[in-house]
Amino acid sequence: MATIPAQPTDLPASQTRARIAVETTAAIPWYIWCATIAITSATIGAYWDISWHSSIGRDTFWTPAHMAIQLCGVLAGIAFGYLILHTSFSKNSPLAASSVHIFGFRAPLGAFIASWGGIAMLTSAPFDNWWHDAYGIDVKIVSPPHMLLIMGEYAVVIGTLVLLAGHMNRSAVQSRTSERRLVLYINGIMLVQVMILLMESTERVFLHSAGAYIGAAALPPLVLALSWRLTRYRFAATFVALFYTLFRIGLILILPLFPAQPKLGPVYHQVTHFIPPDFPLLLIVPAFLLDLLWQRTESWNRWKIATVSSIIWTSVLIAVEWPFASFLMSPASNNWFFGTGYLYFALPPKSFLARHAFYPTGTPLEFSLAILGAILVGTLTFRWGISRGEWLGKIKR
Amino acid sequence: MNLFRLGVPLFLFTVLAQAHVGSPDIFLEGKAGPYQLFVTVRPPLTIPGVAEIEVRSESPGVRSISAVPLAITGAGSKFAPIPDALKVSSNDPQFFTGALWMMTSGSWQARLSIDGAQGPATFAVPVPSVARAAKHMQGGLGLVLFSVGIFLVSGLIAIVGAAAREAKLDAGQAPLADNLRTGRKAILVGGVIVVGVVVGGNMWWNSEASAYDTRIYKPLRMAASLHGTNLGLKITEPGWMQATTLNQAAYRIFTRKIDDLVADHGHIMHLYMIRQPGLDVIYHLHPEQQDAGLFALPLPSTVAGHYKLFADIVHADGFPETMTAEIDLPALSSRPLSGDDASGSGQPATNNIFTLSDGYKMEWLHDDKPIHAGQPMAFNFRLSQPDGTPPSDMSLYMGMLGHAAFVATDGSVFAHIHPNGSVSMAALMLAEGMPADMNMQETSRAVPNVVSFPYAFPSPVQYRIFVQMKHGKMVETGIFGVVCLPSEKR
């Protein structure tokens, strides 16, 4: 466990003060940019990989999509490995005084979190390989080794955010636009990544059943509330949701431009180009309303904010997504923009998606109870997001 | 990380393979247009998984071969993925190897496209695809992953502690007693949460492993009973590849039924009854289906004893299965053998020559070289009259020069092999776009008195080979013994 030195550094106080001063006036450091590129690469790689599996099917470790994901680990390893080693062992590190101590090393907290993520990502590779040997080549996103990989990716994102928050909080640049934009960008990336976990459960066939809305209440609110509370930007949630919306629409517009053919059977649907994911959920609508709400809640206690936010989030999302899902299931949405004609090559012909049929909604009582559950879940995640955002707003290391 | 699955030596839970017992490899010899090919497919243990395919052209001039997996029937047979070019051997230009990615259980084929000096051709090899095993983690890898897992768990708890203890301190400020206390609390709470996540992950892993276990192939169950001189066979579903939920019904591509059986070279069931433990009496019979899952047969006169039953059937999509059962039979004096029924008895041949009850002889044309497991070879047999000359009235037995059963004396292997290989004829017909039950036309050409069966023993144990050839109305059954040695390579 961590070893706490009697003094924060073994450097003379004058040197420490000088380094703190240097840091407070510094621009966004190189390792944060490096980490930002890393998480961007992993996010693009993850969606590319999913599209690869939907269009080509067969892969190796060396596909471009996998390389983009692994680049995250490499860049994070270089950036944070260097940061930890340099801060721990260099006598001139400007971050020595702004470090936490873990296992005898010292570095900013975010570096440790992101390094943990990199190690988790690396560990997932042999684990996933063994998983394929034992239980067959997996054809789904949510499996134990994939979860380890995803947790690793999230840790790199969170580590980057923590690093940036620490940088902002200990400097005089808290209100600087570039830092705030970068925080919103990282939160956007986080939401885009979080929605990977919900891709299967929020497929359009599930949008007339409660499960999709429980999922939508379980993860995105955390990111949106955190963004708002950390940046205090009036339209933080809207920006983050807009980023997700544009990213996913961009995939629908871009991926089908590139040729791809299945290399695995069974092939139930002819595929000639890369298959994009579903049209994004209309998170932007409740996100915008939340921004309007949050501008008026300065005097509210956090549980009240979380509860009202959750009610708005789930009810507005159902109100807009329900009819929109009906549209997505209609032939009118089978075009280049909404992209509902793109089907995974091995999608079974009897599946709900291939038949353009909604998964059963359940009885009104079952649905209502499940939606109440979604609101409860959303309350907890909004509350947690608020507290994490506030915590990030205070960290200095 | 599943703590209970780590550090366990490699251990395979193998199950009986479908379409034969304990003999999953597929051998097929046949004509692809002008080219004579011999194809071996070694299916993977797990599904999805990668099968190995080997093709030897016995005709010269083959330049390239590509292979693609394709469902034999149904929606999956309509569109093919991009075929894979097989790699030509550097030592033998007529030997090609490659891989087939088998993604779902069911009745599949390897569709080969051949190009050569005599033009293009295609060839279909039925490949039943089932998961046969669950593999546990090797000790070394388990230890490494376990160690990293411990590091990740302890690292995460340490990060949580450091975050609570120091993250909010101003630069250069040492943690105070309050900070240290907060850090310790965070380590405690974080530790409980992280350990909870690990336990939850372990439960998830177990649940995934259990779900996989349900996909491991289980043959249809068969129970045999005797009513007077009538043999009754009842087939039941043990719960493999059944759709029990709405989602499974929508997404499961392959489900097994017991009411969809099709005739395979003239019969809906081919039943071998082999007396135990000596494997010295064999009956090859053809029970009739009375109803879905119910078969019956008036037994011919039988020798008393304990019998193992191996029943071959084929489903409508070409998926073949071998069901097993056991029964004790008294000595029965009933009807004589009729139709395609056949029987044989005796000790295995000595010096590769088995003398039949009517004085005819069946010889295994084998040079007594050792035979190793996994070594594909042609097993050639010749039927002669008592004076050693070829019978003048050789005829086809159920449309073929002969039938053979390769049976391990320990009961671990049973394979019903035809002159063209190990595949079900019904599956082969379906894969070639024809009705499952091939039309058994008697040939007008002279039937040779030599038959060849391509096969490789799957494991190094003792075997009996029961070979059946027909002359006139008489089906002769020769019995041969062989000891298979361990595999030389693989």
Amino acid at A230: L
Minimal CA separation from B69 to chain A, in Å: 6
Q: Does A133 touch chain B (CB under 8 A)?
A: yes
Which among B49, B145, B183 is the nearest to A127, CB-wise?
Answer: B145
Q: Which two tokens stand for residue B326?
A: 């056991």
pLDDT score, position A397 = 86
Q: Which two tokens stand for residue B307?
A: 């019998």
Partners of residue A137 in chain B, C-beta under 8 Å = 48-50, 101, 103
Of the pLDDT bands very low, low, confident and very high (cuts 50, 70, 90), residue A6 is very low
Query: Using the beta-carbon criterion (under 8 Å), do B161 and A262 form an inter-chain contact?
Result: no
**Average pLDDT value for residue range A224-243:** 95
Q: Which two tokens stand for residue B244?
A: 């029990």
CB neighbour burial string for B276-308, b if at least 16 within 10 angstroms, e if fewer:
eeebbbbbbbbbebeeebebbbebbebeebebb
On the question of pLDDT at A19 being above 60, the answer is: no
Partners of residue B165 in chain A, C-beta under 8 Å = 2, 4, 100
Q: Where are the alpha helices (DSSP H) in B324-446?
A: 425-431
pLDDT score, position A136 = 63
Q: Is B458 helix (H, G, I), strand (E, B) or coil?
A: coil
pLDDT score, position B443 = 57
Report the predicted TM-score, pTM, of the whole model to 2 decimal places: 0.83
Q: Is A269 helix (H, G, I), strand (E, B) or coil?
A: coil
Choose from B82, B178, B198, B215 for mutation: most chain A CBs within 10 A: B82
Choose from B168, B205, B216, B241 for mutation: most chain A CBs within 10 A: B168
Q: Where are the alpha helices (DSSP H) in B49-113?
A: none
Interatomic CA distance for residues B149 and B157, integer angstroms = 12
Average pLDDT of chain A?
88
Mark which residues 300-359 of A lie under 8 Å from B by CB.
345-346, 348-352, 359
Query: Using the beta-carbon criterion (under 8 Å), do B250 and A262 form an inter-chain contact?
Result: no
DSSP class of residue B441 equals P
- Count of H helices and E strands in chain B? 4, 29
Minimal CA separation from A272 to chain B, in Å: 11
Q: Where are the alpha helices (DSSP H) in chain A?
A: 13-24, 30-55, 64-89, 109-135, 144-169, 177-197, 210-218, 220-231, 236-254, 284-294, 302-328, 364-392
Which among A100, A269, A348 is the nearest to B162, CB-wise?
Answer: A100
Interatomic CA distance for residues A218 and A369, integer angstroms = 16
Burial degree of B167 (CB within 10 A; 0-12, 13-18, 19+)? buried
Residues B144-194: tens digit of each pLDDT = 888 888 999 999 999 999 999 998 888 888 888 999 999 999 999 999 999
Residues B449-485: tens digit of each pLDDT = 999 999 999 999 999 999 999 999 899 999 999 999 9
Partners of residue A6 in chain B, C-beta under 8 Å = 174
pLDDT score, position B11 = 34
Interatomic CA distance for residues A191 and B50, integer angstroms = 36
**HSE on the CB side for A245, CA within 13 Å?**
14
Partners of residue A99 in chain B, C-beta under 8 Å = 166
The answer to whether the Cα torsion of A229, A233, A238, A244 is positive or negative is negative
| Rg for chain A, CA atoms, rounded | 22
On the question of pLDDT at A28 being above 60, the answer is: yes
Shortest CA distance to A174 belongs to which of A186, A184, A185, A166?
Answer: A166
Partners of residue B167 in chain A, C-beta under 8 Å = 100, 109, 162, 166, 391, 395-397
Give φ, ψ of B223 to 5 degrees.
-120, 135
Minimal CA separation from A284 to chain B, in Å: 30
Q: Are B17 and B422 in contact (CB under 8 A)?
A: no
Percent with pLDDT over 90 in chain B: 64
Residue of A nearest to B44 (CA): A136
Q: Which two tokens stand for residue B416?
A: 């019903």
| Rg for chain B, CA atoms, rounded | 28
Residues B55-87: tens digit of each pLDDT = 999 998 999 999 999 999 988 888 899 999 999
**Average pLDDT value for residue range A175-198:** 90
Q: Does A22 touch chain B (CB under 8 A)?
A: no
Choose from A25, A88, A124, A267 for mutation: most chain B CBs within 10 A: A267
Which among A7, A261, A397 is the nearest to B169, CB-wise?
Answer: A397
Q: Which two tokens stand for residue B463?
A: 């075997």
Work out the widest C-alpha separation in chain B, in whole angstroms: 108
Chains A and B: how many Cβ contacts under 8 Å?
Answer: 191
Interatomic CA distance for residues A246 and A239, integer angstroms = 10
